[in-house]
């Protein structure tokens, strides 16, 4: 047992030291061009790595901030929903954000969904009810692509879990011990706040927008979606791009993993059980072998 614990601690220390050395080696000297801008270098995307932000749901005791989730829902409905669907999220789940049943019904009624067929065999539209899912802004993928420079906007239901930037060795080993699982929200926040002017000599294709945090290329079809003062908050929170990005990132994390708090509570209870069980096993072993000659 002592050997196992020592080995694990040694691995953790080695990973931490390796991560620090890797970061120091990867950081360009002052005034030097990043590796992806060096002549003849092969680009590695994203060109800039997302910064680790502070999230209320991080760590073993993390929890969702309902006020932030409500703000994120507001940003999504007023900005993101014009292009991005959430096909896997039903309106009824919004009660977990602190809304009453009447508020959820009123919110759902703002949308229209297709239903049917009716008695005449025809499809029809009606107001949405809590059991319905967020409707897509386009009839199909082809229509979505045609309206967005040929690139269909992805569905947002699981985007916070699907758009994780790989951190590589040895940092992923360190993440095991720090329980870092916020790659997705960090990436979304970095992308939304990362639009900038391209470096000298970089040609941006027509209809493209330079963003070094994009995970697939240096240019993406989506223009900068947020600007300061674009969404009005009623709780006095800052109405800035940075705040909008954090709020909608948190909301998308909740949409992708709505049972995160329950999972963490269950995990904590399991760890307590295992700790008590280990002590009981040890005491049982000592009791059984106390009278035995060694």
Which backbone phi and psi does 115 adopt, to 5 degrees? Answer: -140, 175
* DSSP 3-state of 250: helix
- Is residue 259 marked as binding? no
Contacts of 94 (CB under 8 A, 6+ apart): 73, 103, 104, 107, 130
The Cα 192–Cα 260 span in angstroms is 24
- Is residue 294 marked as binding? no
String of DSSP letters for 189-240: HHHHH---PPPTTPPPPTT-EE-TT-SS-SEESSPP---TTSS--SS----S
Which backbone phi and psi does 16 adopt, to 5 degrees? Answer: -65, -45
- Is residue 1 marked as binding? no
- Is residue 84 marked as binding? yes
Provide the annotated binding site for heme c: 80, 83-84, 222
Provide the annotated binding site: 80, 83-84, 222
């Amino acid at each position: 047992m002592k050997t196992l614990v020592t080995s694990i601690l040694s691995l953790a220390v080695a990973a931490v030291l390796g991560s620090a050395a890797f970061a120091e080696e990867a950081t360009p000297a002052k005034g030097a061009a990043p590796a992806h801008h060096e002549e003849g270098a092969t680009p590695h995307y994203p060109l800039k790595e997302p910064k680790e932000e502070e999230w209320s749901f991080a760590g073993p005791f993390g929890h969702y901030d309902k006020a932030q989730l409500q703000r994120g829902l507001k940003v999504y409905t007023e900005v993101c929903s014009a292009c991005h669907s959430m096909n896997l999220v039903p309106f009824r789940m919004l009660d977990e954000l602190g809304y009453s049943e009447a508020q959820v019904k009123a919110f759902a009624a703002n949308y229209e969904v297709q239903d049917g067929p009716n008695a005449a065999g025809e499809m029809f539209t009606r107001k949405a009810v809590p059991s319905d899912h967020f409707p897509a802004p386009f009839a199909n993928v082809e229509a979505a692509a045609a309206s967005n420079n040929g690139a269909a906007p992805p569905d947002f239901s699981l985007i916070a879990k699907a758009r994780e930037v790989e951190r590589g060795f040895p940092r992923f080993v360190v993440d095991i011990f720090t329980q870092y699982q916020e790659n997705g929200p960090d990436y979304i926040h970095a992308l939304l706040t990362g639009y900038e002017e391209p470096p000298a000599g970089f040609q941006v294709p027509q209809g493209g927008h330079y963003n070094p945090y994009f995970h697939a290329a240096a240019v993406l079809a989506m223009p900068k979606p947020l600007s300061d003062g674009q969404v009005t908050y009623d709780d006095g929170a800052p109405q800035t791009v940075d705040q909008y990005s954090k709020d909608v990132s948190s909301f998308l994390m909740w949409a992708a993993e709505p049972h995160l708090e329950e999972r963490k509570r269950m995990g904590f209870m399991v760890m307590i059980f295992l700790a008590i069980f280990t002590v009981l096993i040890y005491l049982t072993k000592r009791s059984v072998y106390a009278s035995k000659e060694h």
